[in-house]
Chains A and B, each alone.
Chain A
Amino acid sequence: MTRRKHKRAQPSLKAVWRVNIDDHPIGLAWSPDGKRLAIAGVSGPITLFDSADGAVQRVLRGHALDTMAISWHKDSRLLASVGQDGKARLWDAETGTQTSEMSGGASWVERVAFSPVGDWLVSAAGRKLRLWNSSGELIREYPDANSTITDIKWRYDGVQFAISAYNGVVLYDPAEPEPLRRFEWQGSTLTLEWSPDGKYIATGDQDSTVHFWIADTGKDLQMWGYETKVLELAWSFSSRYLATGGGTQVVIWDCSGAGPANTRPIMLEGHQHLIKHLKFQRQGMLLASGGNDGLLAIWKVKKKKTALLADAVFKAPIANLAWSPDDRCIAVSDESGTLSVAAIQ
């Protein structure tokens, strides 16, 4: 692995607004139309901000015993949340009212994901996997997973979704009760990301590995040598680059040509502590990284020379990062409850 030093760039992050929610932030999600920003606090409430000026629009009750995840419906009106009260809930962002309350199947409902296309919602509570529609009707309950489900991600076209758990990844077609395919790994898979073209499923694992599963064939490439477990994965929109954390350096794999096997990744230095979040722009080549050191760094990723474009230091570890749908702004939360929206210039 090569290491590259980066000169400190001129700051080009301009704060648009900044608030503090006085809680440890859990989820952070822009509505697909970019008008709202939803953030959940660990103690339960979910706040909806006007993304233009940071005005509080609604405070949703959330979950009495800790909210754990949120997800927007494609229409930008419904927001799904799950929490430790064993429930999945649907909220109307316009009125702030709860439209549905569903039972997740176990006491901690940890994951929820609306389909980017269509009307499906998937929730996971422990080993329980349930498929709903946006009216809160249960479409299907799947047989229990092998182990607690750690992540759910939809393919770009909504035709498939994948879950991760101990033992790897399972692919589903929401129209079918049986899994399509299993990608097995004797280890605890913590998170997964589809490449935007649907060709790869990347996973981060407790045993400090990153896997590239080729979705069509089930072929597995394993990347070893990470400092710690890998929870941070981000694909560039072109599906060429996968940025990974699992340490203090951002490691970027190039999947063009013959793929990332036996290639040297791009390594980015700058974080003093573990990187906790990585997000690529939706349509651009800027990569945001956030770490336990409170550092937010914006990188412009290029094969020949990746440059640090901007950085900012928050007073607490970065809790979440989210690019606006138009890629012009990034929302950043830190563990002290700061929520900041900054424009890239």
Chain B
Amino acid sequence: MNTAESRVPVTVLTGFLGSGKTTLLNRILTENHGKKIAVIENEFGEVGIDNDLVIGAEEEIFEMNNGCICCTVRGDLIRILGHLMKRRDKFDYIMIETTGMADPGPVAQTFYVDDDMQQKLHLDAIVTLVDAKHIWEHIDDSDEAKEQVAFADVILLNKIDLVAPGDLERLEARIKSMNSMAKIYRSRDAVVEMDKILNVGGFDLERALEIDPKFMEPEYPFEWSGIYQLNAGTYKWMMGDGPDPAMGAALLPLANMGLAAQEATLMDAVLTFSEDEQALVAGEMMRLGKGQYNQLVLNENGETVFNVAIEQPGYYQLFTEHHPDEFDACLRGADSVPDPLKTREYKPDHEHDEEVSSVGITIPGDLQLEKLNGWLSQLLREQGQDIFRMKGVLSVRGWDKRFVFQAVHMLFDGSPDRPWGAERRQNKMIFIGRNLDRDALENGFRECLAS
């Protein structure tokens, strides 16, 4: 392990054809930032531009250890960079452009796998340019587009002038659901401050956790709940047309408005949503209580009404699979419309049923290094191909400094940074990958705590 300071930072630039990579590179090479930058591009000879240098690369991918994708590296980069580091004219930064369809994995892995590379260079950040208008054509069915988003430390949403603000919000939310650790910036004509993409320092884990407070919350099988104070009598749950032909719902009694009671009811709701659903059609009576998971089936057209009978007056909490607003749904009494005393929204299980997602875990306490090593190596052996990136700030028993690390697939680079001092010792980790199992990851991580 080397101190990052003595190594030259490398930025890897990815993005589909037309996303603005060339515009950005030209900007970097012509802007007067006083830094010497070497750019390694595809299909280019070697060109000196004032202080800077552009070198062509051939995209030559090596498989290591008989074909494991987690160990593929770029042989051309090893040669070019190895030679570049011998020159007397040292560069402040190195930028590597990848082709539109390239998997950023082998480029990033090159800096972990090869000793000469690791001694002299460090991967500062993977910057992905996204064409805000055309990304929708790729993001659902292109593995390359997903991987470029998933691998990124920094995502530049470019060409925002071609997109309506609402679409941009939607795109940003979508990207965050896939990669919650990346910093996202918006640009037009690839105009971005250089310090946003160069020498980023990589370590944005804490910031990543700040961006979306819901990110660290557990996921729930429902999106909304409302607490009502109801009298004995008959109520109607009215639903209009919505995005789905049916919606799950549970109605549970709440002992009081105290937080402990709410927490207990929340747990009951989670358990209830794991029960077998009971289909209900218009006019039927919603089942009440723990374990009663109603599946409210809507009429094909128009309003659907379900009945609710309350025997004991008191507090009740209704949990719904989707936000009631999506169905213009509300509760009505015989002669009144009771407003909920309190509502809450929950981070849904899978916002877009995404196969690429992020899992963030925070656990207080100290880890035992041997257990952690054992767990990580097993995890990466079994799921290394599906885990694209990992980052963490860890509290290791017996170490007074924070241990920070990042990994690309199964390749790992980490070192102690500053002392914990008065800060509360805890462990934060983010996984980005395909088909991640949050519970398994969290349990595995928890098992690594020092007993």
Contacts and interface: CB of A to CB of B under 8 A. Distances in A.
Contact of B62 (A108, A126, A187, A335): A187
A147 B63 CA distance: 12
Given A148-B76, A166-B75, A229-B114, A188 B62 contact: yes
Interface residues of B, number: 22
Interface stretch (B81-89, B177-185, B349-357, B372-380): B81-89
B83 A66 contact: yes
Given A23-B88, A229-B115, A206 B83 contact: no
B17 interface: no
A187 B64 contact: yes
Contacts of A66: 83, 87
Interface in B54-73: 56, 58, 60, 62-67, 73
B218 interface: no
A228 interface: yes
B183 to A, nearest CB: 33
Interface residues of A, number: 25
B46 A148 contact: no
B46 A228 contact: no
A333 interface: no
B87 A107 contact: no
A43 interface: yes
B214 interface: no
B381 interface: no
A42 B88 contact: yes
B58 A126 contact: yes
Interface string B107-134: 0000000110000000000000000000
Contacts of A228: 115
B196 interface: no
Contacts of B63: 186-187
B79 interface: yes
A84 B75 CA distance: 17
B45 interface: yes
B73 to A, nearest CB: 8
Interface string A153-165: 0000000000000
A110 interface: yes
A229 B79 CA distance: 13
Contacts of A77: none
A228 B112 CA distance: 12
A228 B46 CA distance: 30
Contacts of A84: 46, 83
A339 to B, nearest CB: 15
Contacts of A206: 62, 64, 73, 75, 78, 114
Interface string A26-40: 100000000000000
Contacts of A202: none
Given A42-B88, A166-B60, A68 B83 contact: yes
Contact of A24 (B66, B73, B87): B87
A65 interface: yes
A146 to B, nearest CB: 10
B117 to A, nearest CB: 11
Nearest to A68: B83
A255 interface: no
Nearest to B115: A228
Contact of A148 (B64, B73, B79, B114): B79
Contacts of A110: 79
A42 B88 CA distance: 8
Contacts of B58: 126, 148
Interface in A158-217: 166, 186-188, 206-207
Nearest to B65: A207
B46 A43 contact: no
Given A65-B46, A107-B56, A148-B58, A24 B64 contact: no
B60 A148 contact: yes
A42 B87 contact: yes
A274 interface: yes
Which 4 A-B residue pairs are closest in the complex by CB-CB distance?
A: A24-B86, A188-B62, A228-B115, A42-B86
Given A24-B86, A188-B62, 18 more contacts: A23-B88, A24-B87, A26-B86, A42-B86, A66-B83, A84-B46, A84-B83, A107-B45, A108-B79, A110-B79, A147-B60, A166-B60, A186-B66, A187-B63, A206-B64, A206-B78, A228-B115, A229-B114
26 contacts: A24-B87, A24-B88, A26-B86, A42-B83, A42-B87, A66-B83, A68-B83, A84-B46, A107-B46, A107-B56, A108-B79, A110-B79, A148-B75, A148-B79, A186-B63, A187-B62, A187-B63, A187-B64, A187-B65, A188-B64, A206-B64, A206-B73, A207-B64, A207-B65, A228-B115, A229-B114
Interface of A: 23-24, 26, 42-43, 65-66, 68, 84, 107-108, 110, 126, 147-148, 166, 186-188, 206-207, 228-229, 274, 335
